[in-house]
Amino acid sequence: MENNEGKESHSSTEVAAQDGLGLLDKDMSNGSQTSVKLALCDLWLGISQWRLWILLGWQDIRQRYRRSLLGPFWLTLSMAIMVGALSFLYGALFSLDLDDYLPFLCLGFIVWGLISGIVTDGCVVFIGSEAFIKQISLPLSVYVYRLIWRNLIIFGHNMVVFVVVACIFSIWPGWSGLLLLPGLILICATGGWVCLLLGLISARFRDVPQLVASFIQVAFFLTPIIWKPELLGDRFGIVDFNPFYHFVEIIRQPMLGNMPDNTSWLVTIGFTALGWILTFLIFSRFRGRIAYWV
Amino acid sequence: MASIHLRNVDVDFPLYSGASRSLKTSLLHLGSGGRIGRTVSDRMCVQALTKVSLQLKDGDRLGIIGPNGSGKTTLLRVLSSIYEPSAGQVFIEGSVASLFDVALGMDTEGTGYENITLRGMLLGLSRSEIEKKVHDIAEFTELGDYLSIPVRTYSSGMLLRLAFAVCTSVEPEILLMDEWIGVGDARFLEKARVRLDDFVHGSSILALASHSNDLIRQVCNKAVLMDKGSVSAFGEVKEIIEYYEQNY
């Protein structure tokens, strides 16, 4: 039974009363306190079930590629083809030096894949897990962690392309390459609240996934991925207002052997912290409704 | 010690029309002070449970009966803390296992053994617990070497055997089941019956929703009759079923 404690403590939590709005509750301080506690519980118990979401995340990948010859390395191959083709096209269009442009483009694409994957999948994190949510009582955060883990696996496969590119152009990130880790942690931490928030809103308002999908497409072109920010000339500063740019930078720059700008660290850390505060408030308020909405 | 206590539990399902599910309409509603997007406020609710109170303690075997749409499944989902009630209180003590869909989460591309692990973890077992049980599960299913090939090649009966064997290998204090699990051919059915009996006896509290009154009579000692979302009768299984058969 010891190993079952995660489940046990979850079910023994008192599920407190909440009227539909939570506002009509007379003993309001008490009511909202419990909902905060339950939300924290959900997030924490979700983490403690890491074995489960790691397994489910792998299963998502395997299911997609089982019985194919290359398996998940199809991800790697299609990324390689994409980067190869585009770098020749855009390198010629912008008349850029391939030595410099191809690694830049490659990393940009890979990091963007991670970010956009988390955001677009995040919209359907609860809608897509409807069967699970309605059949067994797992912490809702498990579905979020599973999604982020799945996207990290994809990221890992795509990074193989960069390793090859780095070898060809003899790029060695050196010590700054270690910054990949904090960069990934920041992206995943932000991804966590983005999924939770978008997943919750999308469960209630079904046109949000469509909205987000078109937004993310526009964001791709507005973010310096296929174009270098230097191209903007003296209007260079406007990219600083694009949070996506900073999230790409905190991984792209270290891998190219440079230190990211301090602004990038500040923006990404601030984005993560503020986002979590906002999301936590919303999550603790509506967590109980998600099962009804999906 | 396991116990379940429901006090005046209400469950309301919001019915969102296409219009109120739309963010645009809702924002319009906010902006226009409620004149344009009036559809938003026309929210309908289905009362799936009204003022349900229930108390169960160790040794209780509750049969949940009632006509279609009377709230049996919703009640089970409240008991497994999937639905948080819109009003009232729920107190549950003890580990809960809910077997509503035995094949939930099965990966058809995975092998039988992989699925034992997967399904076991979904039921809250740890890897070491699963390793301990895997032999027993494999033996029970009688699937032999089939367990090493993808589940997609199984017949539906074989799949059900596997799911059944894994699900009945957990040892929860509170067991919730929606309809009895009917498994495989006649010979296997008897075997499954014995295992299921052991399984049910191992738990402290059982709640079972079923349309088979004979089954409820056999397995349960208490029964609750649901009607239109509220408890219409609660008590000894014999009396309740008699009442149900006469009145519905």
Query: Residues A116-138: pLDDT tens digits?
Result: 999 999 999 999 999 899 988 89
Among A92-101, A113-122, B130-139, B146-155, the minimum mean pLDDT is found in: A92-101
Which residues in chain A have their CB less than 8 angstroms from residue B22's CB? 205-207
Q: Which residue among A12, A133, A204 places its CB closest to the CB of B92?
A: A12
Report how far residue A267's alpha carbon sits from residue A45's, in angstroms, rounded to the nearest whole number: 29
Q: Is A55 on the interface with B (CB under 8 A)?
A: yes
The domain spans of chain A are 49-293
Provide mean pLDDT across the span B79-100. 89
The pTM for the full model equals 0.86
Interface test with A, best of B17, B23, B131 (most A CBs within 10 A): B23
Question: What tokens appear for A230 in the block?
Answer: 């230097």
Start-end of H helices in B12-141: 18-21, 23-31, 72-79, 112-122, 127-141
Query: What are the φ and ψ backbone dihedral angles of A146, each rounded to 5 degrees?
Result: -60, -45
Q: Residue B36 pLDDT more than 50?
A: no
Report how far residue B24's alpha carbon sits from residue B42's, in angstroms, rounded to the nearest whole number: 16
Query: For A287, which residue in chain B has the nearest alpha carbon?
Result: B84
Write down the pLDDT at residue B123: 86
Write down the pLDDT at residue A119: 96
Query: For A12, which residue in chain B has the nearest alpha carbon?
Result: B93
Write down the pLDDT at residue A11: 37
3-state secondary structure of B46: strand
* Inter-residue contact B229 to B48 (CB < 8 Å): yes
More confident residue, B91 or B44: B91
Residue B182's pLDDT band, with cuts at 50, 70 and 90, is low
What is the sign, positive or negative, of the torsion defined by CA atoms of B240, B243, B245, B248?
A: negative
Provide mean pLDDT across the span B154-165. 85
Which of A229, A203, A231, A198 lies closest to A215, judged by CA?
A: A198
Distance from CA of A67 to the nearest CA of B (A): 9
Write down the pLDDT at residue A114: 96
Residue B43's pLDDT band, with cuts at 50, 70 and 90, is low
More confident residue, B14 or B239: B239
Provide mean pLDDT across the span B2-25. 80
Write down the pLDDT at residue B203: 84
Which of B72, B77, B67, B126 lies closest to B98, judged by CA?
A: B77
Residues of chain A with pLDDT under 70: 1-31
* Inter-residue contact B96 to A5 (CB < 8 Å): no
Write down the pLDDT at residue A23: 34
In chain B, % of residues over pLDDT 90: 31
Q: Residue B243 pLDDT more than 50?
A: yes
- Convert the pLDDT of each residue in B206-221 to its tens digit: 898 988 888 888 888 8
